[in-house]
Amino acid sequence: MASTRRPLIAGNWKMNGLRADGLALAKGVADGVKQAKWSDREVLICPPATLVLAVAEAARGSGALVGGQDCHAKPSGAHTGEVSAEMLRDAGASHVIVGHSERRTDCGETDAIVRAKAEAAWRAGLLPIVCIGETLAEREAGKTLSVLESQLKGSVPAGATAAKLVVAYEPVWAIGTGKTPTTPEVAAAHAHIRKVLGGLTAEAAAVRLLYGGSVNSRNAAELLAAGDVDGALVGGASLKADDFLTIAKAA
């Protein structure tokens, strides 16, 4: 089954990147992807919204894909400061991250909001990467699997298929901390996610599950080799083209 799940290595730049350095980074990644001519994996760059258009233009023809970091649930309207899935698509994006823990925490995004955003991605023709993950307190209380289960059930819209959904498991305590779960812990979480997905889609076995949280060029090979891991969502290490490409090579 794993052979049908083409690994996806996604870089989440978060709120980093002005035009000059962002375009240089995108060009570095795009050149590396073009040179590698990978047909067995996908590489995705998710710059801040201000750079989606320019990065998509810089990446055109390279094979590197471009995505947004968030979208609003509505296609347009009186929502000052927001960006719709349709706008991302129009700017050249093919993917969008929804429900990142920083948005769940900073912006109070609930599972219902995340689900509506994933539906908006579908409406616009984007592939949503739905993020879930437990906090340290939840892990220490032994609640990891039940938290993942309830976030998944609440955040994945009805009608999901393998072509329309990517799930990213990102333990909140591992994001930006340099700490990672052990590979058996990652494998256990991913196996549980796949099992729960079985109740949500007939194509659970083919849905790609990414691991995210302090993935870097040194630990990527080991984390990516864990059971049921089909790629990575990379924050800090996606801000250096060489590091990010090393992670993509490890997939």
100 noted as active-site residue: yes
The residue among 43 and 86 lying less far from ligand PGA, judged by its C-beta, is: 43
- The verdict on 236 binding ligand PGA (CB under 6 A) reads yes
Q: In the set 224, 233, 241, 251, which binds ligand PGA (CB under 6 A)?
A: 233
For ligand PGA, the closer CB: 67 or 201:
67
Q: Does 67 bind ligand PGA (CB under 6 A)?
A: no
Asked if 213 touches ligand PGA (CB under 6 A), the answer is yes
User: Could you confirm whether 95 is annotated as catalytic?
Assistant: no
- According to CB under 6 A, which one of 125, 176, 198, 227 is a site residue for ligand PGA? 176
Binds ligand PGA (CB under 6 A): choice among 166, 212, 217, 224: 212
Residue 232 near residue 215, CB atoms below 8 Å: yes
Cα–Cα distance for residue pair 215/174, rounded to 1 Å: 9
Candidate list 72, 95, 100, 192, residue with the active-site label: 100
* Residue 235 touching ligand PGA (CB under 6 A): yes
Binding-site member from 170, 228, 230, 243 for ligand PGA (CB under 6 A): 170
24: Cα within 13 Å, side-chain hemisphere = 8
Exactly one of 234, 241, 250, 251 binds ligand PGA (CB under 6 A); that residue is 234
How far apart, in whole angstroms, are the C-alpha atoms of residue 168 and residue 166?
7
Contact yes or no for 11/215 (Cβ under 8 A): no
Q: How far is CA 230 from CA 43, 67, 95, 123, 187, in A?
A: 12, 18, 16, 25, 11
Q: Binding residue for ligand PGA (CB under 6 A) from 69, 84, 144, 214?
A: 214
> Rounded to 10 degrees, what is the CA torsion of 182, 183, 189, 192?
-150
Is the separation of the CB atoms in 59 and 25 below 8 Å? no
Site string for ligand PGA, 11-30 (x = CB under 6 A): -x------------------
Burial of 240 (0-12, 13-18, 19+ CB in 10 A): middle
Q: Contact positions toward ligand PGA, by CB under 6 A?
A: 12, 170, 175-176, 212-215, 233-237
Residues acting as catalytic residues: 100, 170
